[in-house]
């Protein structure tokens, strides 16, 4: 990717009036751009590989565990072996499954594609949110947060540049009435030391959603060759309030009858606290 290519992707700024007013009133927040996805080239490898900071190898499973607001959080991120064509681009389906105190609270299927320069784009997600009563009985499912890029109202955002630079500020999700997630690059040289391992030259991004306010609410740290290794939740002062680190990362078998059976067993075991 040449410097001119990088600048062209970073140079297109999209703002709707309400967001522009919010940004003007809140100078402490990043001023994100929406890179123009039509300037990117997607070829036959768009659903494969990812880049140095973002993992898209099929059947790679990453598990994260931590405590947030007193609740045990477990997130399982699986790069599936399936793809979805969106706007003529073949995207990779990545499934995120989140448990809170052992209860399944969210299953999201996210759609990502890598352009020929190595940038990874975010084309949307389908979300299932699970609601429980006080006795942990499932009482409802909704799809809040779901969207799909259509090139008219909803546009692909950048989830990871091939060559991120300090000061980059960009939309990850540009979906009016759903999400305006943004990220800014804080550092390229952080160090992370967690039980899973120690990492140098870590990319640190600050992220937030303009619908929730203009502040950065969490940091995500990505190790070269590994991907996301640590999520840091931030308090109102911008200090780290909790951390959810990578616990394991491994390749898993391709789906089959045995895999489906094991998944059903795992869901049943986590359906209630204490099994």
d(CA 126, CA 137): 23
pLDDT band with cut points at 50, 70 and 90 for residue 255: confident
d(CA 68, CA 197): 22
Percent of the chain with pLDDT over 90: 75
d(CA 160, CA 173): 12
Residues 6+ apart with CB under 8 A from 264: none
Sign for the CA dihedral angle at 192, 182, 55, 253 comes to positive
275 in any annotated domain = no
127 in any annotated domain = yes
CB count within 10 Å of CB 67 equals 12
The reported pTM is: 0.86
* Residue 39 backbone zone (phi > 0: left; psi -120 to 50: alpha; other: beta): alpha
The residue length of the chain stands at 275
Per the structure, the complete domain to which residue 177 belongs is given by 3-270
Condensed to tens digits (0 to 9), the pLDDT of residues 133-184 reads 999 999 999 999 999 999 999 999 999 999 999 999 999 999 999 999 999 9
**Does residue 239 carry a pLDDT above 60?**
yes
The tokens for 14 are 């999209």
d(CA 155, CA 172): 9
**Does residue 94 carry a pLDDT above 50?**
yes
pLDDT at position 258: 46
pLDDT band with cut points at 50, 70 and 90 for residue 213: confident
pLDDT at position 10: 56
76 in any annotated domain = yes
**Does residue 82 carry a pLDDT above 90?**
yes
d(CA 199, CA 232): 16
How many structural domains are present in the chain?
A: 1
Condensed to tens digits (0 to 9), the pLDDT of residues 14-71 reads 444 444 444 444 434 558 999 999 999 999 999 998 999 999 999 999 999 999 999 9
Do the Cβ atoms of 229 and 204 come closer than 8 Å? Answer: no
The tokens for 172 are 């990850």
Q: What H or E segment, with its residue span, contains residue 40?
A: none
**Does residue 91 carry a pLDDT above 70?**
yes
């Amino acid at each position: 990717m040449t410097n001119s290519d990088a600048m062209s992707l970073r140079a297109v700024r999209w703002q709707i009036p309400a967001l522009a007013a919010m940004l003007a009133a809140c100078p402490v927040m990043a001023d994100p751009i929406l890179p123009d996805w039509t300037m990117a080239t997607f070829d036959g490898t768009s659903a494969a590989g990812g880049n140095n900071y973002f993992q898209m190898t099929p059947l790679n499973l990453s598990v994260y565990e931590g405590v947030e607001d007193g609740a045990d959080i477990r997130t399982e991120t699986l790069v599936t072996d399936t793809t979805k064509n969106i706007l003529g681009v073949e995207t990779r389906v990545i499934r995120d499954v989140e448990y809170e105190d052992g209860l399944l609270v969210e299953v999201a299927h996210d759609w990502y594609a890598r352009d020929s320069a190595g940038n990874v784009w975010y084309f949307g997600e389908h979300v299932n949110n699970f609601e429980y009563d006080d006795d942990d009985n499932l009482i409802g499912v909704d799809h809040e947060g779901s969207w799909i890029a259509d090139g008219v109202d909803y546009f692909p955002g950048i989830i990871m540049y091939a060559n991120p630079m300090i000061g980059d500020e960009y939309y990850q999700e540009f979906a009016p009435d759903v999400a305006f997630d943004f990220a800014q690059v804080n550092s390229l040289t952080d160090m992370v030391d967690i039980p899973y391992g120690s990492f140098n030259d870590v990319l640190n991004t600050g992220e937030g959603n303009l619908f929730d306010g203009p502040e950065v609410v969490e940091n995500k740290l990505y190790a070269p060759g590994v991907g996301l290794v640590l999520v840091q939740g931030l308090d109102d002062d911008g200090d780290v309030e909790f951390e959810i680190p990578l616990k394991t990362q491994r390749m898993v078998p391709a789906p089959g009858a045995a895999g489906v059976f094991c998944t059903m067993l795992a869901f049943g075991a986590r359906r209630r606290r204490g099994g």
